[in-house]
Amino acid sequence: MTGTLSRTTLPKFAGDTRIATSPLHVNCAPYRLAFESDEKGAVISVSIEVHVDHYKPLLPAYDSSQEPILLKYPENPIHAELIALLQYLESVGAFWFSVHEVSWKNAEFDWISENDSEQSELAASGISA
């Protein structure tokens, strides 16, 4: 297993920041950021990805052996790291790029498999927190 990617997306982004190409990808090792814009070029969402080698203990899982089915979503320190980086970018963006608000309540966390065997290990994906 080579690892997988953890992605955090902030779908609500308000500001006057404009980009010419959407999505705009920025690589800042070990992170990859993606800025999405509307038809006028205004940034409307931002996401960040990071490669995770030892991801199995962090994956969401479900237990269907009992009723009701339980979804177990372990605490993930990587999500906190990604949110902290996005908060830093928000503060820098407020000063330099007219970022007005990022809605942290709507952060979406997801796992992106790098191959088919990893995909089969992902019991639950696209969980919002």
Name, in order, each residue with C-beta under 8 angstroms of 111's C-beta and a sequence gap of 6 or more: 4, 5, 6, 7, 55, 59, 60, 122, 125
User: H/E element holding 92?
Assistant: helix 77-96
- Is 127 domain-assigned? no
> For residue 69, what is the DSSP state?
P
Task: Indicate the pTM of the whole model.
Answer: 0.74
Give domain status of residue 57, yes or no.
yes
Confidence band, pLDDT 50/70/90 cuts, at residue 68: confident
As a whole number, mean pLDDT of residues 118-129 equals: 60
Beta bridge partners of residue 72, listed in sequence order: 61
Given pLDDT bands bounded at 50, 70 and 90, which one contains residue 46? confident
- For position 124, what pLDDT does the model report? 55
Q: Is residue 80 part of a domain?
A: yes
Residue 128: its pLDDT value, please? Answer: 46
Which range marks the domain in which residue 14 is found? 4-116
The CA distance from 24 to 19, in Å, is 7
Report the number of distinct structural domains present in the chain.
Answer: 1
Q: Let me know if residue 121 belongs to a domain.
A: no
